[in-house]
Structures are given as C-alpha cells and as structure tokens.
C-alpha cells in the first residue's frame, strides 16, 4: 500500500483542488500493480466537502500558515506571497515547518502532490518525493535568479535576499544543501504546470513544458445555435447579489455556478429563469453549450475557455486574475470589468455576445492552441509523473 498526500496550502477556490483530485483519480485507476491510498490536506477541509461531497478519500486540516502582517501584493511577485506567510521571519517559518512536519509524521506519505504549498514543499525537501502542480502564476520557474515583479512598472521586492538567508538557515538545520536562488525553493524535480502559453505570466522566462488546461486541451468547439452566457462566480461570495442582479438583465440565455455559498443570489436567478448548477458542472459540457464565459479570471476556466474558442468577460479579484484579465484584453478575446459589476455586466455581456471580433479572435487563438503540440490529457501526463515517483 502506497500513500499519496494531496496538499493545498495557500490556494483558495476550486481551481487549486480540482487538479489534485483529478490527478488522484487517474493515479488510483492506473496504479494496477499496487494499492494507493489518497489523503487530502487542505486549509479549508469543510469547504472541500461542500464543493466535492462525494470524495472517496479522507480530507484533513492542513496547517494554516501564520501570516506576518497585513501585507498585500503591489508587484504580483511570488516573493510577496512568501513575505505574507512569514518566510522572512525565522520564528514564524520555524513554527509553520514544525506544523507540517507533524502532519507528515502522522500521514507517512510515500508521495506528496502539492498545489500552491511552499511551506509543505520546504518541509518535504530531502525527505519525500514531491510532484508540484499548479497554474503558471503559482509555479514560477525554479531556475531563475529571483522572483520578478509581474506588475508593469514595479521592481521586485528587495527582501528576497533576507528570505533566502532564512530558508537556507533552516535547510542547514535539517541537513539539507542550501539553495542558490530563492525560486529554487519550488524546485521539486517533478512539476506539472497547467497553463497555456497565452496566460503564462512567466512566458519568456520559463524553459519547462506547459501542459495546458487541466480540463483537457479541448479541440476548438463550434458555437452553439443560440447565444448563451455561463457565469462562474464563486470567488466573491460577498458580491453575488450584485452579480445576480446584473445578470438577470441580460437578453440572452444564462446559466451559472455560484460556488457552495449561493444564498439568495441563486434563488433570485432561478426565479428569473436562469439555470443555477447546485454542484460543480462538467466544464466540457458548459463550454460546448455556451457562447460567452463570465468569470473572475481563475486560470483553470480561463485556459479551458480559450482552448474551446470562447470569448470571455473577466471580473478580476486578485493578482492572478488581473494578469489573466490583461491577457484577455491583449488578445482581444473579451472584456474586463474592473469595478461596478452591477452596472456594467449586462452591457458587457450584450457587447461580447454581439461583437463578432471577440468570437473570431477567440476562435483563432483556439486554432493556434490546437496546433501547438500540447498533451491531449494534461492530467494523465501529471499522473504518469506521480506514478514514476511512486515506483
């Protein structure tokens, strides 16, 4: 019996969980020679059960990293994420590592598959094999000199030297070799980056292979006979009512997934004839039946929508979705709504549905992607990496 521990330390939302669960399903199905036990450690185990109520494995509470303050990213640099979670503070990093050590001692995994989990990866370094998975944003190249600023006109955080010194101090105490540069903290040997080149924040710096969408690198899809908008809006539950009010004014068919905390917004949309999915829908089916995708710019859906040739409307809520939004504008495959979603969403939906160039540009990008040689089943590719590490 081999034990695989799935780890989601920092990432909130379905996009950090779905790839782990998909990989685990492939892993269990393909490990014919040996039984595989899967565990999932999440910083929000209750939320996992709400979104995925039928998981066939146990969900554990992952250590919640102690933050060092109220820092917010001004440069969209991964270094600022490490600062936020105390990687420059020896007392905080020590406590966080001890917490992860305890979980690893309890679970005794043979393999860790980690999404957006820098502390867990550091705790496992030299101790356990790790398959690092995630989006282009959460997986900067590990072979660059420093984490760059991803916001135009900003400089990288200067604290990277201090973070590196703190990390190397703990590696020395653990009998591990020091790392030469801070990005090497994410060098696990085996990595699976679920991103398209079009949405990769590190294009031009990355030498490793990109796998594309974890939903599968779909062939370009023909447009449905009737215009239809799909809304994916679980990332901002405090603004669901505002979004629902705006969406109800659209003059085309609408369906939606509002996440596990739907509240009154779902009831309101249903009363207006909108089909609201109560469980996470099959995204391939959603894309097949939709002509425009509205979301907060999460990497998983944005990548899948582009492979299918669907225009998008992005309502960014954090650094990663802002980067996705900027690329949507650059490719001219949709619109971005920065503020006042309630006032602008219905108008934007009508515009993107009716203006031909958005659809044409999205279809052209999808055709380019289909010829780029990406693996047809990215999740299977990642699962094959995991199987190699288990052997």
What would the pLDDT profile of 197-239 be if each residue is shown by its tens digit?
999 999 999 999 999 999 999 999 999 999 999 999 877 777 8
Give the whole-angstrom CA distance, residue 129 versus residue 347: 50
- Of 211, 205, 383, 381, which Cα lies nearest the Cα of 303? 211
The CATH topology of domain 2-215+375-390 is Rossmann fold (3.40.50)
Q: Which CATH superfamily includes the segment(s) 228-370?
A: Glycogen Phosphorylase B; (3.40.50.2000)
Strand order of the sheet with strand 2-8? Answer: 58-61, 36-42, 2-8, 111-115, 130-134, 190-193
Tokens representing 192 are: 């699976």
What would the pLDDT profile of 56-101 be if each residue is shown by its tens digit?
999 999 998 766 555 566 668 999 999 989 999 999 999 999 999 9
- To the question of pTM greater than 0.85 for the whole model, the response is yes
Question: Hey, is 228 helix, strand or coil?
Answer: strand
Whether pLDDT at 327 is above 90: yes
How confident is the model over 161-179, as a mean pLDDT? 96
Residue with tokens 């999205």: 362
Give the whole-angstrom CA distance, residue 367 versus residue 308: 9
List, in order, residues 6 or more apart from 233 with CB less than 8 Å away: 240, 243, 256, 257, 258, 259, 294, 295, 296, 315
What would the pLDDT profile of 243-262 be if each residue is shown by its tens digit?
888 888 888 899 999 987 77
Task: Indicate where the chain has its CATH 3.40.50.2000 domain(s).
Answer: 2-215+375-390, 228-370
CB–CB of 64/43 below 8 Å? Answer: yes
What would the pLDDT profile of 330-352 be if each residue is shown by its tens digit?
999 999 998 888 788 999 999 99
Neighbour count for residue 173 (Cβ, 10 Å): 10
CB half-sphere exposure, 243, CA atoms < 13 A: 29
């Amino acid at each position: 019996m081999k034990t695989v521990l799935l780890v989601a330390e920092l990432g909130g939302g379905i996009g950090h969980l779905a790839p782990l669960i998909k990989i685990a399903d492939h892993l269990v199905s393909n490990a014919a020679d040996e039984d595989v036990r899967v565990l999932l450690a999440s910083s929000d185990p209750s939320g996992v059960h709400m979104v995925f109520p039928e998981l066939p494995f146990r969900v554990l509470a992952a250590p919640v990293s102690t933050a060092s303050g109220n820092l917010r990213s001004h440069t969209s640099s991964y270094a600022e994420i490490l600062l936020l979670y105390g990687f420059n503070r020896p007392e905080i990093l020590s406590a966080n590592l001890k917490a992860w050590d305890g979980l690893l001692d309890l679970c005794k995994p043979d393999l860790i598959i980690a999404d957006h989990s820098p502390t867990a990866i550091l705790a496992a370094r030299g101790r356990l094999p790790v398959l690092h998975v995630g989006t282009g944003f959460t997986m900067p190249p590990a072979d660059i000199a420093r984490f760059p600023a991803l916001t135009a006109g900003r400089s990288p955080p200067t604290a990277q030297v201090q973070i590196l010194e703190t990390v190397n101090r703990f590696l020395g105490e653990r009998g591990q070799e020091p790392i030469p540069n801070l990005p090497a903290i994410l060098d696990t040997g085996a990595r699976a980056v679920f991103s398209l080149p079009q949405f990769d924040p590190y294009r031009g710096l990355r030498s490793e292979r990109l796998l594309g969408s974890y939903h599968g690198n779909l062939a370009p899809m023909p447009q449905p006979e009737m215009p239809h908008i799909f809304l994916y809006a679980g990332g901002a539950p405090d603004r669901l009512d505002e979004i629902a009010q705006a969406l109800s004014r659209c003059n085309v068919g609408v369906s939606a997934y509002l996440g596990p905390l739907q509240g009154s917004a779902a009831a309101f949309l249903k009363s207006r004839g909108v089909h609201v999915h109560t469980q996470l829908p099959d995204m391939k089916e959603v894309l097949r039946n939709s002509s425009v995708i509205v979301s907060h710019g999460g990497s998983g859906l944005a990548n899948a929508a582009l492979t299918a040739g669907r225009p998008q409307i992005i309502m960014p809520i954090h650094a990663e979705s802002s980067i996705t939004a900027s690329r949507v504008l650059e490719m001219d495959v949709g619109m971005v709504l920065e503020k006042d979603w309630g006032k602008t969403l219905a108008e934007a939906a009508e515009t993107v549905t009716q203006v031909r160039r958005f659809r044409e540009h999205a279809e052209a990008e999808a055709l380019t992607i289909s010829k780029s040689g990406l693996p047809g089943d990215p999740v299977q590719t990642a699962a094959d990496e995991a199987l190699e590490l288990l052997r």
